[in-house]
Amino acid sequence: MAFVRANSSGWAVGDILTSAQQNALDIDHALALDKSVAGDTLSGVITVASTGEILLNFADGVVGNANASILANATGALISTTPGGILCAGGPTDFVALSSRSRIVRTPLIVLGTLTGTHFSAAAEGGSNFAAAGTPPGPPTIVGVAADGVGVNLFCPVHNGATLTGVKFFLEVGQSHANVPATFPAFDIRRTPIATYAGTTQSLFSGGPATASAGSGAAWFNGGNIQLWAGVCNQNNVIDTTTYVYNMVLFDESGANSKTGNVFFGAELTFASITTSAFP
């Protein structure tokens, strides 16, 4: 409630304090907040006008110990204007929590190691990644040069604690095909325990690498247009960078009717169940 004056016209010498006025003062006194060290309980909503301000010059001035005890429901309702103005001080795993959400990460294909040009080469669409000064290269790509199905390891961006639900690979088939290749291009997403690192690699696909497909050679070539194929991550896919390192593996087409020159442009990864702002 808002307190009102017991005598709106003010008091003059000799005025009599009526019982109604005294009761009003008594009620207001009972409803007032206790500003002593004894503390008090606020039962209603306090609205601060544009001319008002709550200024705290001491630590722990506002304590929220229940879910959503401090709620900002307007754009910019909570702003820090100084470095460290919002501090997570709960230890090494204390990050800002988020309501569960999804995130799509698109990445170029970054090779782990060095390409020798035997199976794949690094190039840009229309020229070398290392074009002459003043001549900007096209987008970074990986090109199949052998059509032998040998895989190449690629960097895999991840978001720690999230669930990697699916991945898409983008490619441009380099040559027209009279028939589909015996083995289509494929990719795998893998994790390896950091402590042992060798011999314990696990796929995020229960059925093995995600393989492209087409019903005919013409459909596979698709007029040379960029196309994609996708894989659903259905195991080992809750990202844990404290235990594992992650990588992608790309395989080109191979076998009968296979051809060289496929251009692989990049990948798109979808993460779900993101509940923390922890660093990827």
pLDDT higher than threshold 70 for residue 53: yes
pLDDT band for position 199 (cuts 50, 70, 90): low
Task: Report strand pairing: 140-144 vs 226-232.
Answer: unpaired
The per-residue pLDDT for range 252-271, each reduced to its tens digit, is: 999 999 999 999 999 999 99
If you search the block for the tokens 């997403």, which residue do you land on? 189
Taking CA atoms, 202 is separated from 149, 163, 184, 239, in Å, by 20, 16, 22, 13
- Domain-located, residue 17: no
pLDDT higher than threshold 80 for residue 230: yes
- Domain-located, residue 255: yes
Are 107 and 155 a contacting pair, CB within 8 Å?
A: yes
- Domain-located, residue 9: no
pLDDT band for position 172 (cuts 50, 70, 90): very high
Could you give the angle at the alpha carbon of 172 between the alpha carbons of 280 and 269, nearest 5°? Answer: 20
- What rounded mean pLDDT belongs to the chain? 89
The per-residue pLDDT for range 6-50, each reduced to its tens digit, is: 888 888 998 899 999 899 889 888 888 888 888 888 888 888 888
| Secondary structure of residue 38 in the 3-state scheme | coil
Could you give the angle at the alpha carbon of 93 between the alpha carbons of 90 and 97, nearest 5°? Answer: 80
Calpha distance 250→168 (Å, rounded): 12
H helix intervals, 36-98: none
pLDDT band for position 197 (cuts 50, 70, 90): low
Say how many C-beta atoms besides its own lie within 10 A of residue 138's C-beta. Answer: 13
- Domain-located, residue 239: yes
The range of the structural domain enclosing residue 201 comes to: 100-276
Structural domain count, the chain: 1
* pTM for the model: 0.78
- Domain-located, residue 173: yes
Quote the pLDDT of residue 60.
85
Quote the pLDDT of residue 122.
82
- Domain-located, residue 37: no
Q: Assign residue 251 the CATH number of its domain.
A: 2.60.120
Phi first, then psi, for residue 223 (nearest 5°) are: 65, 15
Higher-confidence residue of 195 and 152: namely 152
Strand partners, 171: 227, 264
- Domain-located, residue 141: yes
- Domain-located, residue 89: no
Token couple for 249: 């593996």
